Amino acid sequence: MTDSTARKKADELTPEQVADYLRAHPDFFLGQDELLRSLTLPHESGRAISLVERQVHLFREQRDTLRRELVELVSIARHNDRLFEKSKRLLLQVIEARSLSEAAAAIDDSIRGDFGLDAAAVLLFMDAPAAGTCQGALRVVSPDSARARLGRLLDSERAVCGQFRDEERAFLFPDRQDPVASVALVPLRHQGLIGVFAVGSCQPGYFDQSMGSLFLTYISDTLSRLLPPMLLKHMAATPGPATEERAH
């Protein structure tokens, strides 16, 4: 094959064909040191660099990217570890509570103090005579009342986050001087919907739908099993109209 024929053959090759060949033969440049030194690529600085320099530059960029991703993953892991410890402390306090009022106080103190949020609410759904019971962050409301005020929010199987309507925020966090602007709400479910667990912030946009809800769900799953028996025990020990009638 003459030089002119070889050049003609080379001219017929497309960049895609050359790239495909190099991908299929990644060891092509082994022993081709002179060829590697002769290949040049444009650089951001405006000067031409060798292919080897370009590879080194790419490897450094990949290293820096991986380093940033590793730092971010370590930061997320530490943040999750802190959330887990706070969640564990909250639930242990509820488990160790000797009364419903102690459990409600533990929830309120933990959400405000440990988690640094502005408001907490646990609403258990139960018909009269329990409806109307209030113990700090914990309130008992009728299912019909909750459905009328919260509506679609009760249909979700997962946490719902965002800036709720005024009437929804007022129902979850009544009698507040500083209005709650952003809310995360998790249904309490145990053999059906039994209530909701909600946390609030006065900062608009603090909670949004892109936020993870793993630890909120973890807390709500545990509260949905701990609180109803405590409420029933509290109601049995609290004299009410029905109890007083029987006493007479």
Whether residue 129 has a cis bond before it, omega within 30° of 0: yes
Domains in the chain, number:
1
Q: What is the pLDDT of residues 57-102, one digit of tens each?
A: 788 889 999 999 999 999 989 988 998 999 999 999 999 998 888 9
What sign has the CA pseudo-torsion 142, 169, 99, 241?
A: negative
Does 69 fall in a domain? no
Q: Which residue range is the domain that position 218 belongs to?
A: 99-238
Q: Which segment of 125-129, 137-141, 150-154 scores lowest on mean pLDDT?
A: 125-129
For all residues of the chain together, what is the average pLDDT?
A: 81
Instruction: Report the distance separating Cα 29 and Cα 151, nearest Å.
Output: 67
Q: Which residue has the tokens 């979700």?
A: 156
Does 201 fall in a domain? yes
The two three-digit tokens of residue 136, written as one number = 């700090």
Does 209 fall in a domain? yes
Helix or strand or coil: residue 36?
helix
Exposed/middle/buried for residue 131 (C-beta within 10 Å: 0-12, 13-18, 19+): middle
Does 234 fall in a domain? yes
Does 16 fall in a domain? no
> What's the whole-model pTM score?
0.68
Residue ranges in the chain assigned as alpha helix (H): 3-12, 15-24, 33-38, 51-96, 100-109, 143-150, 166-172, 214-237, 241-247
Does 231 fall in a domain? yes
Name the packing angle between helices 214-237 and 51-96 (round to 10°): 0
* CATH code, domain with 110: 3.30.450.40
Does 1 fall in a domain? no
Grade residue 244 by pLDDT with cuts at 50, 70 and 90.
very low
Residue 94: per-residue pLDDT: 93
Does 225 fall in a domain? yes
Check residue 151 and report its DSSP letter: G
Q: Which segment of 3-7, 183-187, 195-199, 222-226 scores lowest on mean pLDDT?
A: 3-7
